[in-house]
Amino acid sequence: MNQLDFNGRHAVVTGGATGLGFGIAQRLVASGGSVTLWDRDEAAAAKAAESLGGRAFALKVDVSQQSSVARAVADTMAHAPRIDALVNSAGITGPNTKLWEYPVDDWRQVMEVNINGVFLCCREVVAQMRRQGDRGYGRIVNIASVAGKEGNPNASAYSASKAAVIGLTKSLGKELADTGIRVNCVTPAAVKTAIFDQMTPEHIAFMLSKIPMGRFGTVEEVAAMVGWLCTEDCSFSTGAVFDLSGGRSTY
């Protein structure tokens, strides 16, 4: 594993109890930093933080609720001197079905978590970053998806929400370009985590068939790129979209 320099920095990772969020938190701690895991599953977040050691903390947060996110920022600042990085990894897939059969309540829930949650976390954390000096030093990495570039059939809500994450990233990156805050996103193809439990076997097979490398990505591969995007070395990229798709999406 290549060594990244996140020494002395503190990151907030949403959805940090499991999957990509936990893998990213592991990489940041291994790179010398500390993390606060924001997750709606309080017990799982606490267990994950314990496994990461003394430089990890856990908070129960509902990213779809502004009051919960604002409280989480205040609670994070109670044990961390700064928030240097925000990784928006919390997300849900929603059901795999045709758009005209898509349950309206499920559509709304996917949007609440996947895009409204990113908006609310960015809104509250950017305000904190701008108060911290260093021209508002910070790094924000949003976890989008190749589905947001191409649109997966039978996943209209997920695809639309991840396309919105890409657009939000580009907009916010430009708004903060004259500060020390950099905002980027990554667009993984399918990475085998517990989120696969929310998908049908047919949809999983479809995603694999689209990857020229013929395999799913790994959590470690995503964490390596996200980890670098959280460091000071990522200084001239903002509003950018970084591909992690095994050759599926090259634009």
Please identify every residue annotated as catalytic.
158
Yes or no: say if 171 and 197 are a contact pair by the CB < 8 Å rule: no
d(CA 96, CA 109): 14
Amino acid (1-letter code) at residue 227? G
- Count CA atoms within 13 Å of residue 142 on its CB side: 37
Non-local (6+) Cβ contacts of 19 within 8 A are: 89, 193, 194, 195, 219
Yes or no: say if 200 and 96 are a contact pair by the CB < 8 Å rule: yes
d(CA 102, CA 160): 13
In order, the DSSP letters of 56-85 are EEEEE--TT-HHHHHHHHHHHHTT-S---E
DSSP lists the bridge partners of residue 197 as none
d(CA 39, CA 59): 7
Closest CA to 60 of 80, 43, 35, 77: 43
d(CA 95, CA 91): 13
Yes or no: say if 242 and 165 are a contact pair by the CB < 8 Å rule: no
